[in-house]
């Protein structure tokens, strides 16, 4: 049943550029005409500006301002790292929740930032001029240097600008079809105000999540502070409509969808299907098993494994469904047909054909090299072999210190991009944030990384012989984690400030390891950039140019964690022939409760039950086109009021990485009704309610 619906849609996508309600549009190219045609509605420039400046990019989520004093609404799962950071053996904020009744009680999140997009400048012509006439490899290097220069100039120029100074970031739209300079106001001081218990935020947990989550109060509240320590003034905030939306109502999602792959070539999709996703899933599934088993060893182990396990399981869900989508021959056949149609149109335009040549063949050839380099690149350069699965690992710190020591003395445009002047403050913040480091967990990651590196690169690979000729993964992991002092932020600060001299003189075993593998890792990165990235980027740019000439900008660019707006309606879907209603209600939460995780209702909600209105709407579904990164996005009505808090999608929405399926793809949001009911009757958060209600 599902497949034929998917196929129908896919065929219809080939013959039309209409996106039903799919499409993650940029604010600067918002399709007013399409909105009028499909929904007989429009939004004004002022509406767009207000929504844009009320939308926040967090580290890897979206959020929005919901009061004039910098109050931020986002998901519970977007605040988990901060909750974790302030948890101890005896007080687990992730599990128990948190409420600051006064501003003094708000807790600063060590690595959280809040970026607001203030301005966008099209720099396609500048990049084009800088790289004109260069071959792919030289153009790739020149492009990066030009980006660094433009970012640097932008940040210097912005010091006197309104809302400045800005963080400036170049972004690539349409696989190199356009380049933009995005200018953000950055709040580096973000504090935690409220989070409910995890049991209610993620009720149903993974079991529900593998279909769709339905009774989750996946919310948290934070506040942005200015550099002077005062709450940020945010007059452009969005007020919440407490009653929530109606079925069928037109709704918008503003946010930062992380990444889609709808415009990849067939060759690139095949690399994902044949190489990247299966390997990632094998590794992640084993790590899942290790973390689960580790968590059974003690309550403390359970607590510290909980947050990384949740993130990992969500990743597995996504990758698994992405792989399913790519394994569906019908999707691939539709992509092949689509590509053939574009190539035929190019061939029919001799001037265009001469101009772009055969970029598809270039990309296909680079894929073979990609498949060869993927293993050493991930294990050595991305640090998978050393347990890196996030910025917080000990090897991650060591790598950053070693690289920064080598890069910072270089001229800005000559550095690796992540150590440019524009990027350094953020790197420093992440390095020095006093996040907890759990040795037992670090050993688990490191031993796992080393063991799989030996398996996949083979016992006779030089790096494997170098590290594991007289040690097992376990003994080496023990030595490194027990021996390093990098868990201490003060030690990291000393090395960061001491620069190359301090880092090169260090005998800290993790620093020594990072130094020893650096040359080989950089060599692989260089090969990857020259032999995969450069030709693919150059060829993608050519395909994008052809697309523009043939289709115009009637298709939005692939998501890339930049701000997007899309519209849709509140609606359910048909699952195996049965309708799924767009709203869930509080009563079914209690009916589904088992008393056991992840179907355990927290005590606070059990105690409050007699006072609650059991017909309160809980979660709701819409046909908005969202992906990971949209978590925490405001769902907005045509008047600019918040009518929901996006936190996930149904299982079908994961194929949204490759296409938008109007029949089945649904986004899931927390309804304002349950937020207010909970804050009022369960948490008695009167101060917060007062601030949220001041319109």
The least CB distance from residue 510 to a second copy, in Å, is 20
Contact region with a second copy (CB under 8 A), list: 96-104, 462-470, 624-632, 679-687: 462-470
Contact region with a second copy (CB under 8 A), list: 153-161, 276-284, 343-351, 521-529: 276-284
Q: How far apart, in whole angstroms, are the C-alpha atoms of residue 107 and residue 87?
A: 11
Report the residue number, 99 or 373, with the smaller CB distance to a second copy. 373
Per residue in 534-572, is it b (16+ CB within 10 Å) or e — as a string?
A: bbbbbbbbbbbbbbeeeeebebbbbbbbbbbbbbbbbbb
Report the residue number, 71 or 513, with the smaller CB distance to a second copy. 513
Among 98, 187, 456, 658, indicate the residue that binds a second copy (CB under 8 A): 456
Whose tokens are 């452009």? That residue is: 236
In eight-state DSSP terms, residue 682 is I
Give the H/E segment covering residue 582: none
The least CB distance from residue 297 to a second copy, in Å, is 6
Report the residue number, 548 or 599, with the smaller CB distance to a second copy. 599
Contact region with a second copy (CB under 8 A), list: 15-23, 69-77, 455-463, 603-611: 455-463
Q: Residue 449, SS3?
A: helix
Whose tokens are 């992991």? That residue is: 477
Among 320, 549, 609, 641, indicate the residue that binds a second copy (CB under 8 A): 320
The least CB distance from residue 637 to a second copy, in Å, is 32
Are the C-beta atoms of residues 100 and 148 closer than 8 Å to each other? no
Q: Residue 643, SS3?
A: strand
- The answer to whether residue 446 forms part of the interface with a second copy (CB under 8 A) is no
581-620 mask for a second copy (x: CB under 8 A)?
Answer: -----------x-xxxx-x---------------------
Neighbours of 233 (CB within 10 A): 12
Q: How far apart, in whole angstroms, are the C-alpha atoms of residue 19 and residue 13?
A: 8
Six-digit token string for 390? 């996030």
Report the residue number, 283 or 485, with the smaller CB distance to a second copy. 283
End-to-end CA distance of the chain: 47
Among 299, 434, 458, 483, indicate the residue that binds a second copy (CB under 8 A): 458
Are the C-beta atoms of residues 259 and 562 closer than 8 Å to each other? no
Is the backbone peptide bond immediately before 598 cis, with ω within 30 degrees of 0?
Answer: yes
The region that residue 97 occupies, defined by phi over 0 for left and psi between -120 and 50 for alpha, beta otherwise, is: left
Report the residue number, 153 or 472, with the smaller CB distance to a second copy. 472
Contact region with a second copy (CB under 8 A), list: 103-111, 281-289, 427-435, 686-694: 281-289
- The answer to whether residue 288 forms part of the interface with a second copy (CB under 8 A) is yes
DSSP 333-356: HHHHHHHHHHHHHHHT-HHHHHHH
Among 163, 248, 289, 409, indicate the residue that binds a second copy (CB under 8 A): 289
Q: How far apart, in whole angstroms, are the C-alpha atoms of residue 597 and residue 201?
A: 12
Among 210, 548, 561, 590, indicate the residue that binds a second copy (CB under 8 A): 210
The CA R_g of the chain, rounded to the nearest whole Å, is: 25
Report the residue number, 110 or 295, with the smaller CB distance to a second copy. 295
Q: How far apart, in whole angstroms, are the C-alpha atoms of residue 240 and residue 679?
A: 14
Report the residue number, 86 or 336, with the smaller CB distance to a second copy. 336
Q: How far apart, in whole angstroms, are the C-alpha atoms of residue 220 and residue 236?
A: 20
Among 96, 121, 157, 206, indicate the residue that binds a second copy (CB under 8 A): 206
Report the residue number, 301 or 513, with the smaller CB distance to a second copy. 301
- The answer to whether residue 323 forms part of the interface with a second copy (CB under 8 A) is yes
| Chain centroid offset of residue 295 CA | 26
Of 468-507, binders to a second copy (CB under 8 A) are 468-472, 474-475
Using CB under 8 A, count the residues that bind a second copy.
53
Q: How far apart, in whole angstroms, are the C-alpha atoms of residue 372 and residue 277?
A: 15
Is the backbone peptide bond immediately before 280 cis, with ω within 30 degrees of 0?
Answer: no
- The answer to whether residue 455 forms part of the interface with a second copy (CB under 8 A) is yes
Among 196, 204, 245, 257, indicate the residue that binds a second copy (CB under 8 A): 204
- The answer to whether residue 278 forms part of the interface with a second copy (CB under 8 A) is yes
DSSP 500-534: HHHHHH---HHHHHHHHHHHHHHHHHHHHIIIIIH
243-272 mask for a second copy (x: CB under 8 A)?
Answer: ---------------------------x--
Report the residue number, 314 or 428, with the smaller CB distance to a second copy. 314
Neighbours of 667 (CB within 10 A): 28
Among 303, 335, 454, 547, indicate the residue that binds a second copy (CB under 8 A): 454
Report the residue number, 66 or 326, with the smaller CB distance to a second copy. 326
Q: Residue 139, SS3?
A: helix
Q: How far apart, in whole angstroms, are the C-alpha atoms of residue 632 and residue 646?
A: 5
- Beta-ladder partners of 224: 190
Are the C-beta atoms of residues 32 and 42 closer than 8 Å to each other? yes
Report the residue number, 323 or 667, with the smaller CB distance to a second copy. 323
Among 95, 161, 281, 487, indicate the residue that binds a second copy (CB under 8 A): 281
Report the residue number, 123 or 331, with the smaller CB distance to a second copy. 331
The least CB distance from residue 598 to a second copy, in Å, is 9
Six-digit token string for 476? 């080496």
- The answer to whether residue 444 forms part of the interface with a second copy (CB under 8 A) is yes
Report the residue number, 103 or 273, with the smaller CB distance to a second copy. 273
The least CB distance from residue 291 to a second copy, in Å, is 8
Contact region with a second copy (CB under 8 A), list: 80-88, 235-243, 277-285, 392-400: 277-285
Give the H/E segment covering residue 33: helix 32-39
Binding site for a second copy (CB under 8 A): 204, 206-208, 210-211, 270, 273-274, 278, 281-283, 285-294, 296-297, 316, 320, 323-324, 327-329, 444, 448, 454-456, 458-459, 464, 468-472, 474-475, 592, 594-597, 599
């Amino acid at each position: 049943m599902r497949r034929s619906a998917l196929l129908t849609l896919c065929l219809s996508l080939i013959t039309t550029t209409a996106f039903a309600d799919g499409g993650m549009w940029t604010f600067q190219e918002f399709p007013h005409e399409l909105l009028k045609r499909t929904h007989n509605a429009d939004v004004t420039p002022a509406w767009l500006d207000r929504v844009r400046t009320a939308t926040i990019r967090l580290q890897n989520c979206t959020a929005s301002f919901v009061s004039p004093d910098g109050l931020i609404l986002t998901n519970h799962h977007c605040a988990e790292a901060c909750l974790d950071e302030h948890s101890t053996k005896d007080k687990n904020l992730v599990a128990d929740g948190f409420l600051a009744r006064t501003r003094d009680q708000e807790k600063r999140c060590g690595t959280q930032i809040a970026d607001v997009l203030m301005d966008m400048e099209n720099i396609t012509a500048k990049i084009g001029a800088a790289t004109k006439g260069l071959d792919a490899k030289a153009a790739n290097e020149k492009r990066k240097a030009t980006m660094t220069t433009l970012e640097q100039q932008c940040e210097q120029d912005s010091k006197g600008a309104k809302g400045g100074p800005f963080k400036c970031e170049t972004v690539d739209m349409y696989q190199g079809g356009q380049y933009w300079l995005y200018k953000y106001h950055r709040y580096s001081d973000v504090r935690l105000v409220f989070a409910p218990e995890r049991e209610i935020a993620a009720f149903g947990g993974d079991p529900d999540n593998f279909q769709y989550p339905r009774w989750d109060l996946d919310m948290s509240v934070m506040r942005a502070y200015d550099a002077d320590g005062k709450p940020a003034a945010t007059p452009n905030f969005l007020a919440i409509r407490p009653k929530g939306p109606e079925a069928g109502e037109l709704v918008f999602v503003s946010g930062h969808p992380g990444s889609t792959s709808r415009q990849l070539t067939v060759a690139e999709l095949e690399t994902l299907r044949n190489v990247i996703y299966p390997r990632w899933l094998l590794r992640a599934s084993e790590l899942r098993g290790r973390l689960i088993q580790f968590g059974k060893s003690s309550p403390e182990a359970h607590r510290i494994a909980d947050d990384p396990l949740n993130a990992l399981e969500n990743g597995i869900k996504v990758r698994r469904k992405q792989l399913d989508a790519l394994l569906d021959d019908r999707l691939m056949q539709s992509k092949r047909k689509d590509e053939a149609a574009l190539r035929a149109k190019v061939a029919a335009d001799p001037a265009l054909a001469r101009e772009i040549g055969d970029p598809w063949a270039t990309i296909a050839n680079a894929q073979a090299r990609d498949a060869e380099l993927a293993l050493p690149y991930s294990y050595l350069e991305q640090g998978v072999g050393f347990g890196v699965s996030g910025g917080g690992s000990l090897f991650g710190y060591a790598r950053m210190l070693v690289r920064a020591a080598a890069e910072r003395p270089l001229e800005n445009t000559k550095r690796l991009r992540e150590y440019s002047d524009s990027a350094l403050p953020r790197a420093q913040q992440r390095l020095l944030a006093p996040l907890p480091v759990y040795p037992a967990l670090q050993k688990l990651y490191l031993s796992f990384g080393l063991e799989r590196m030996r398996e996949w690169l083979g016992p006779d690979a030089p790096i494997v012989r170098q590290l594991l000729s007289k040690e097992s993964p376990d003994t080496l992991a023990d030595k490194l984690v027990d021996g390093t002092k990098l868990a201490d932020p003060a030690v990291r600060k000393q090395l960061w400030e001491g620069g190359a001299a301090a880092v090169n003189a260090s005998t800290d075993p993790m620093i020594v390891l990072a130094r020893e593998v650096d040359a080989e890792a950089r060599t692989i990165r260089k090969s990857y950039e020259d032999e995969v990235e450069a030709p693919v980027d150059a060829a993608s740019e050519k395909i994008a140019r052809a697309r523009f000439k043939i289709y115009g900008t009637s298709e939005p660019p692939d998501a890339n964690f930049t701000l997007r707006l899309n519209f849709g309606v509140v609606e359910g879907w048909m699952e195996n022939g049965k309708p799924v209603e767009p709203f869930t209600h509080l009563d079914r939460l209690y009916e589904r409760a088992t008393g056991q995780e992840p179907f355990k209702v927290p005590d606070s909600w059990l105690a409050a039950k007699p006072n609650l209105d059991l017909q309160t709407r809980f979660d709701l579904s819409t046909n908005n086109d969202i992906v990971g990164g949209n978590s925490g996005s405001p769902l907005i009505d045509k008047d600019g009021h918040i009518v929901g808090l996006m936190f996930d999608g149904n299982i079908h929405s994961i194929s949204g990485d490759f296409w938008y399926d109007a029949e089945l793809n649904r986004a899931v949001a927390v309804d304002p009704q349950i937020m207010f009911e909970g804050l009022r009757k369960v948490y008695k958060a009167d101060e917060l309610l007062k601030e949220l209600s001041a319109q």
